Amino acid sequence: MRLKRQSETRIRTEEPLAPGQEIVRVVDVKRVYPLGHEEVMALKGINLSVSTGQMVGLMGRSGSGKTTLLNIIGGLDKPTAGKVFIKGKDITQLPDAELTALRRDLIGYVFQSFALIPVLSALENVELPMHIAGLPRSERHRRATELLQLVGLSKRMNHRPFELSGGEQQRVAIARALSNRPALILADEPTGELDSTTGLQIMSLFRYIATTENVAVIVVTHDPTITQIAHLTYEISDGVVNQLPAPTAVS
């Protein structure tokens, strides 16, 4: 019970994020993998930052290093050199227990395959992280309902994943990622299993959520439409990052 109360207190007392607050700062990050008697440098000194209210795209061909960078930002991998700061804290120096807490409390994940629990309704899938965190039933029900309304699924809350389209399932996954009020959303190829029209809708939804929920959103994708939707887009090629031109109209 003590752990439940601690989690509940954290969620209720976390101060709101300031608009434009820097959430992610990547400083000269390098990642080297051993390959037999040789070494492969996946990242060659990456520098970038992401703030609240910002949607940032990471583009690149397979093997370019974009997923490696996303995993390092999310604390799932460690850089060979360099630092990653989340809300000003250097996560590259954190022990595993603190990294686990950081991922639970500050980061929401969205995957290509949706990763919904098939026996649960859309509402129950969104409620699940809050249930694990120890929120009371009434509070997690209210929050889950709000989030499903936010992603346009107010009439589909009680449907199970197999009763939803691919785009609807991804919307549920996005709502679930927002459930514990993270500072950062990390999305890995979130439109990879969707048709182009639905993919565009999901990309636009990420931008809308970044601004309305005041969170930082990083999307790894092959989809070139990201350059017209994200506030900033970086292209990773051979472990080096370059910023692409911003869209003509950025709100």
**Which CATH entry fits the domain spanning 2-11+23-244: 1.20.120.1200, 3.40.50.1820, 2.40.160.50, 3.40.50.300?**
3.40.50.300
pLDDT at 15: 66
**pLDDT tens, position by position, 165-217:** 999 999 999 999 999 899 999 999 999 889 999 999 999 999 999 999 999 99
Domain ranges of the chain: 2-11+23-244
Question: What's the predicted TM-score (pTM) here?
Answer: 0.89
- Per-residue model confidence (pLDDT) at position 12: 37
Tell me what pLDDT residue 132 has. Answer: 87
pLDDT band at 245 (very low <50, low <70, confident <90, very high): confident
Length of the chain: 251
